[in-house]
Amino acid sequence: MPRFDLSPAELREYRPAIAEPADFDAFWQRTLDEARSAARPPLLTRTESSLTLVEVYDVTFSGFGGDPIRAWILAPAGAAGPLPAVVEYVGYGGGRSLPHERLAWVNAGYVWAVMDTRGQGSAWGAGGATPDPHGAGPSAPGFVTRGIQNPDDYYYRRVFTDAVLLIDALRSLDLVDPLRVAVTGTSQGGGIAIASAGLSDELVAVMPDVPFLCHFERAVGMTASIPYGEIVTYLAVHHDQTERVFSTLSYFDGANFATRITAPALYSVGLMDQTCPPSTVYAAANRHPNGADVVDYPFNQHEGGRAAHWPVQAAWLRHRLERLEGEIRS
Q: Which residues are catalytic, by number?
A: 187, 273, 302
Q: Cα separation of 4 and 218, whole Å?
A: 13
Q: Which among 54, 61, 132 is positioned nearest to 98, based on CA atoms?
A: 54
Q: What is the total residue count of the chain?
A: 330
Q: Which residues sit opposite 207 in a β-bridge?
A: 184
Collapsed DSSP state (helix, strand, coil) of residue 243: helix
321: nearest Cα among 86, 100, 84: 84
| Contact indicator for 110, 175 with CB cutoff of 8 Å | no
Closest Cα to residue 281, out of 211, 189, 195, 207? 211
CA distance linking residue 108 with residue 104, whole number of Å: 6
Spatial separation of the C-alpha atoms in residues 115 and 68, rounded to whole Å = 12
**CB-CB contact of 121 with 95 (8 Å):** yes
Q: What share of the chain is helix, strand, coil (3-state, %, to 5)?
A: 35, 20, 45
Give the Cα separation of 327 and 330 in Å (integer).
5
DSSP bridge partners of 73: 57, 113
